[in-house]
Structure 1
């Protein structure tokens, strides 16, 4: 059997010894301990040689790191082995490196997104032997390729399209410019004889009769002595096993196992997620087992419905024959230093997504093919994965040396991710087809290559050849062909950014895209995150540190204009911070409620974005310190199986009952026109029925529609669900000064329960738990209460609970709009 020796210990990082970088850290040419996996930035941080780039404006202080050359070294002890072959394997090198063992150059690399293997047989018979991985600055290589292939249009003034590296290393409108280098994935020695499993691609399908089928396409590598050996592949799926002979000399074999009537894998909310052990063992008749590959697989079918209909062209994921409205979020790398993201962190973030009702995660094209740890958790939680190929917001040359690298990484990663049932869609790029048409690329390119050949030619061919069990889509946004505008909302996928950039969020209601793959609204990080990362005193929206942690063009201006549509100018930073959080949640709610109410015409919303890679003002629901913003809790309401919302239709106002559950939803809806003081001015009771996976509409009687005088609202209740509708914007509504009663109860385990009872209408009541204690979390976000209603906030991680502190951490829209309270809240 193959032997594996991880290469973890004994690595050092040599500091720059010459050039402008020499002397910036430590002794020029000196060394510090290096972690593998890891990166230069994390090694320098661990050694105390650079400041934390996430704090204040330290990002600019460490910019030189990305422009320096770096060398990793270790010594490999003698590895006496009876095996015929020894390989040195790197699962990931970031990015431009030369690998040298002793005095022998093994090879060079230029792609972060693929693995590398070098034959070092015999080189370690006597030791120790020095191993060196010398990294050239990604900037240097990118500029070299740019000079070779010519300039291309780019949404960001950085050279990321000229090498295969995580694009957002070079900065984005939510991320810092921290251009990494290092051995970012595991390294090891593999000792083997006769033959090994070079690549395994399991194609998992379900026949019309419900029989599961696993077709394992296997590539072998043989030693010279093993070239003429007959071998056997044993394929086991659960309790079902087949043996497939491999003729002498063969380097490709296909093994097939049938599984009668397997339980199907479903997206969360549609069924369970059974997973089955899939094991492939390569055996020799004399030597026994030579190599083994093991993963988990799930049985399900997936297709993409793009049929033409009365509204244009559909874009609907169909899993196990069931059309799905995708309740999605966009995923960016969870740390701009991605080697720091481990299995536990993936699980925390994805469990947060699942708890918020999410059933689809789009891995965005400016990032990575994530670790198998990511996809393993998605498999377990029923989170469908839409995987972009790593191309984003730029024209990418199609000539060598890039084309060969793109093909190699695509083939490797399509094969690597094939076992995961959660993966339901491959997408060619982010916004590049749109950019060619709308961002003045075409005249600037003047016929030069820009990536179209990848998205419409190379990548669909690789997916079809390597894993034909999954659909491929050329890009997002993309309308299906050049016959339509790439971002035509009536065809395929759409990105809705005109609203954030130029309009009030109420403009989301002006269109019904077939699938909204990106839309969102900004807000700052949670208060404790801001305070940890930014030392400005006093804090203000435009204080130096806050501005540095706002990467979007005119981001603060857009935040201010968004607030101005609805609220008076905030009186202070705390009010600004709260109201921008409110506006973010309200904006996303406006879009999701509108688009979900138009199912099946609209078949999905993918909010930009779930997560952050550092502390920043951004579109994220979970900030860079892993704290949930109010948007996160709002997603749990918006993405619940049942959603009640008031919508304006051409024929009048309706209550839309969105039922994505498998059970019918019926009963009597109670509609009340209510005065600000809670007085019921009119009431109607109407029967409703929404079949499973459908939307029902309930026309609203005229008598329950509130007047537009700022003194009335509409409350609709259907079963456990409630919707409130305010006919005017907040600044025009007659909110009373906030007043409430508060009770605090502390459980034996230290969990605190803060119960607030409204004495008046309270709009968007928020308990900011991180103001109580930086470690504190609460289970709910923005909550609107009518007079006499109560809500309980459960707080964990609060070291010293007091009612007075809880009262001070409560905020409402009332306080931002109404005059000062004459009857103060009571704790």
Structure 2
């Protein structure tokens, strides 16, 4: 059996710093880790997440860094000993006992080196020196020539996490380091060199396909013994051969479903490599397997061509969000943090996370958690917002990286699609790259249309591959077309108001978003400006989007008043973000017959920043999180414009039909009923959007600035206002507040004395650790809502102040 010795102790870090800085000759280092974290742990740099400290850390990415450790070894005849580096960031020279072992150039690969003949009895010295990414980038650009890139830095010329070099939501913190585990492995006779496992449904049965390749140290006669769900198979490896393929058929397994449709049964798969003569265990491979089918329907239809994911023969509308690296320093992301974040996504009724192409292939724990939680995964290959050379040495690095990660991730039932790139085909077509990229110069298309699909077809043929996001399915149609493929909507936010979302009915929207600052407690923890303002140094520095603050204010125009205070700016922009995305999602879901997915940009943040995220970097829920929870509810009731009138649309993503009375009223804002209707039974079948045109006396106002429509179907309720808030006669907010202690916090009971629109309890203004169960609640006069507040802090009713802790759209006007 393989012996594995983790080399995680005794590391030091050193640097011959240029530019007059002084550092200790060596400092303790953590492995896995990175240079920034070691410098921070040794109090040699200020925290780059605080204030404007990012700038003072620019020098780190411009230096070479050396990691060093000593480890004991015992070379043995007949044994192979290998150094395994799961992740090196990025351009590294590895020296063992004074002799260069190899040079590496890819953050996203695993490296394995036979050191059997290089180890010494007793202490061995291992040194890993990382070249400055900037210095290497300049060198490699001279080799390739310039390629357009939407962001500064050479991220498109090397295989490194692109957003290290800065993004419109991320800082420029250019890392180096041994970012994943490193170990010494010792084995004899034979080991698995590559194990590819795929699982699917074959009729009512589950079918596991195993393709294994072994490496032999001697002429060992070997066999593979595999078992799952009580089914076993023995595969003899023929003499002289090193590969074998076989299948295990599992009769009538329980089916793996996305979390909103069913359970996630997982079956342990055990694959053992054994000596065929002695029966000794030489190596083993274990995974948790789920059985489900997946295909991507892109067939032509009356609207253009479909983009529909079909899971277990069910065409789904996917309620998704984009996932970026959860920290600028990925070694800091623990398995527990993955679990917490994915549980938050699930609680927000998200059923798909798209792992975006400017980051990383996440660690195994991410996908394992998605498997257990029923969270579908869309995985980009790592190409984003740039053109990429297709020549050597990059081409071989790409191929090796793809092989590594496809083989590693393909057993996961949560993973439903490989995507070639993020916005690169769109960029070439519409961002002015064509005049810069001369004819015959590569820019990445060969990866997306040739290299990647061929590798996926070879390695993982049972899972869909799609060339890009956005992409129309052919180079003959513009890549961001409404009627074909997947679409990104970015004129909304960048150029126009969120009402323009209704101009689009995409087949599948894989990116759309709206910005807002992080939660108040997160700002206070990371920015120490006095006073805090939207343009004070620290707050403004934590806004990375071009003209981002201007766009935040422009986005309020026609909807909400210009804020006069920092408190109002913070709440108004967070509220506007939540409303914009709720507006977009409800529109897309109401057109479920055409559109089959809405994937919000973005779910999470990598540092404290004004961004498109629903969950800020501290894991605090922004109002957007609650808007997504409501708009992604498997049973949604919404009011939409149709055919010159208004229509209530019931959308049902449950497995059971939704049949109930539907009723509605047109009211003055003071609660006076002006018109009402009741329809005894509306039937919305499973996976359907059912329209109910509202009667004319409901849909037609007497005084548009003082009226609202409320439609109800069981416990789902939808509101419609005839004009925007800025023109409404919203009353000054008045409410009765009651507070009752519970085992984990308080119940906050709010009874409205006036209409309260989009009522929010800003829990972190009471306690940075507090969490509230609901937000964005609209109450008619006399109605009550109960907030469940989790907190360990002692509170009184007086703490629930209207206009600071208890906020609504009303108080933005009451103070103006």
Q: TM-score, normalised by structure 1?
A: 0.97
**Aligned equivalents of 2:21 and 2:644: distance in 1?**
72
Partners of 2:809 and 2:634 in 1: CA distance: 28
| 8 Å CA contact 1:356, 1:635 repeated in 2 | yes
Matches within 5 A, 1:124-163: 124-163=119-158
**Alignment pair present for 1:784 and 2:778:** yes
Residue 703 of structure 1 is aligned with which of 693, 697, 701? 697
CA distance in 2, matches of 1:709, 1:759: 22
Asked whether 1:288 is paired with 2:280, we answer yes
Matching residue within 231, 244, 247 for 1:256? 247
1:314 aligns with one of 306, 321, 326 = 306
Aligned position for 1:631: 624
CA-to-partner distance for each residue in 1:714-768, whole Å, 9 max, x for gaps? 0000111000101101010001111000000012x34111111000000111111
Q: 2:228 aligns with which of 223, 237, 240?
A: 237
Determine the C-alpha separation between the residues in 2 that align with 1:683 and 1:739.
26
- CA distance, structure 2, for counterparts of residue 502 and residue 595 of structure 1: 20
Rate the CA distance shift 1:191–1:287 in 2: closer, same or farther, 3 A.
farther
1:206 and 1:505 map into 2 onto residues whose CA distance is 42
Deviation for aligned residue 1:20: 1.8
1:230/1:570 CA distance change after superposition, 3 Å: same
**Partner residue of 1:825?**
none
The alpha carbon displacement at 1:79 in A equals: 2.7
Output aligned runs, 1:649-660, within 5 Å: 649-660=642-653
Distance in 1, matches of 2:242 and 2:28, equals 41
What is the alpha-carbon distance in structure 2 between the residues aligned to residue 3 and residue 533 of structure 1? 45
Q: 2: distance between equivalents of 1:742 and 1:555?
A: 37
Deviation of residue 547 (structure 1)? 1.0
1:664 CA displacement: 1.0
Q: Which residue of 1 aligns with 2:358?
A: 366
Name the CA distance, whole Å, in 1 between partners of 2:683 and 2:412.
37
Mapped contact 1:411–1:462 kept (Cα < 8 A): yes
Which deviates more from structure 2 when the two are superposed, residues 380-389 or residues 71-80?
71-80
Question: Match of 1:458, SS?
Answer: helix
Q: How does 1:462-611 map to 2 (within 5 A)?
A: 462-611=455-604
Match of 1:804 among 789, 795, 798: 798
| 1:161-560 correspondence to structure 2 within 5 Å | 161-208=156-203, 210-223=204-217, 226=218, 228-284=219-275, 285-286=277-278, 288-447=280-439, 448-560=441-553
Residues 679-732 of structure 1: CA deviation (Å, up to 9, x unaligned) = 111110013110111010000001112345311100000111000101101010
Question: The residue matched to 2:793 in structure 1 has which SS?
Answer: coil
The Cα of 1:651 is off from its aligned counterpart by 4.9
1:248 Cα deviation (Å)?
2.0
Equivalence for 2:3: 3
- Indicate the SS of the match to 2:434: helix
Alignment match, 1:688? 682
Write the distance in 1 (CA, Å) between the matches of 2:352 and 2:752: 37
Query: Is residue 378–residue 417 contact of structure 2 (8 Å, CA) maintained in 1?
Result: yes
Give the length in aligned residue pairs: 810
Aligned to 2:624, the other structure's residue is in SS state helix
Secondary structure of the 2:637 match is: strand
Q: Deviations over 1:171-215 (max 9, x none)?
A: 00000000010000011010001110011111212213x121111
Structure 1: distance between partners of 2:465 and 2:703: 48
Structure 2 residue runs without a partner (length 5+):
none
TM-fit CA distance, 1:101: 0.5
Q: CA shift at 1:387, angstroms? A: 0.2
Q: CA deviation at 1:375?
A: 0.2
What CA distance in whole angstroms lies between the structure 2 residues aligned with 1:130 and 1:445?
A: 46
For 1:198 and 1:264, how far apart are their aligned partners in 2?
30
Deviation (angstroms), 1:600: 2.5
- Partner Cα distance (2:309, 2:229) in 1: 28
Give the match for residue 772 of structure 1.
766
Q: Shift in Å at residue 157 of structure 1?
A: 2.0
Q: How does 1:99-118 map to 2 (within 5 A)?
A: 99-118=94-113
Deviation at 1:222, TM superposition (A): 1.2
8 Å CA contact 1:752, 1:798 repeated in 2: no
Deviation for aligned residue 1:819? 5.9
Evaluate the alpha carbon distance shift between residue 636 and residue 82 of structure 1 in structure 2; reply closer, same or farther with a 3 A threshold. farther
Contact 2:3–2:186, Cα closer than 8 Å, also in 1: yes
CA positional deviation for 1:565:
2.0
Distance, in Å, in 2 between the alignment partners of 1:230 and 1:489 is 58
Measure how far apart 1:395 and its partner are. Answer: 0.4
Q: CA deviation at 1:22?
A: 4.0
1:96-117 per-residue CA deviation (whole Å, 9 max, x = no partner) reads 0011110211100000000001
Matches of 2:365 and 2:419, distance apart in 1: 21
SS at match of 1:644: strand
Q: How far apart are residue 794 of structure 1 and its match?
A: 1.3
Cα distance between partner residues in 2 of 1:251 and 1:514: 45
- CA displacement 1:124-175 (0-9 Å, x = unmatched): 3412111000000111112111110100111112211010000000000000
Q: CA deviation at 1:442?
A: 1.1
Deviates more, 1:194-203 or 1:285-294: 285-294
TM-score of the two chains, using structure 2 as the length reference: 0.98
* Deviations, residues 404-439 of structure 1 (Å, cap 9, x unaligned): 000000011111001100000000000000000001
- Work out the CA distance in 2 between the residues paired with 1:511 and 1:201: 41
Aligned to 2:788: 794
Q: Distance in 2 between matches of 1:730 and 1:83?
A: 78
Contact 2:667 2:709 in 1 (8 A): yes
What secondary structure, in the 3-state scheme, does the structure 2 residue paired with 1:602 have?
coil
* 1:792 CA drift (Å): 1.2
Aligned to 1:823: none
Please point out which of 35, 43, 47 is paired with 2:38. 43
Q: Does the C-alpha gap of structure 1 residues 743 and 236 become closer, same or farther in structure 2, counting only changes over 3 Å?
A: same
The Cα offsets for residues 656-681 of structure 1, whole Å up to 9 and x where unpaired, read as 00011111111211110011111111
- Aligned mates of 1:773, 1:583 — CA distance in 2: 24
Is 2:747 aligned against 1:753? yes
3-state SS, counterpart of residue 794 of structure 1: strand
State whether residues 16 and 64 of structure 2, in contact with CA within 8 Å, keep that contact through their aligned partners in structure 1.
no
Shift of 1:82: 6.6
- Which residue of 2 is the match for residue 20 of structure 1? 19
1:515/1:603 contact within 8 Å kept: yes
Report how far residue 272 of structure 1 moved. Answer: 1.1
Task: Name the Cα RMSD after superposition.
Answer: 1.1
Task: Provide the secondary structure at the position in 2 that maps to 1:254.
Answer: strand
Task: Quote the Cα distance in structure 2 between the aligned partners of 1:426 and 1:797.
Answer: 41
Q: 1:53 aligns with which of 36, 48, 63?
A: 48
Q: Is the 8 A contact 2:75 2:116 kept in 1?
A: no
Q: Contact (CA 8 Å) 2:17, 2:63: kept in 1 or not?
A: no
Cα distance, 1:560–1:794 mapped onto 2, change above 3 Å: same
CA–CA distance in 1 between the matches of 2:34 and 2:149?
Answer: 27
* 2:729 is equivalent to residue 728 of structure 1: no
Give the CA deviation at 1:238: 2.4
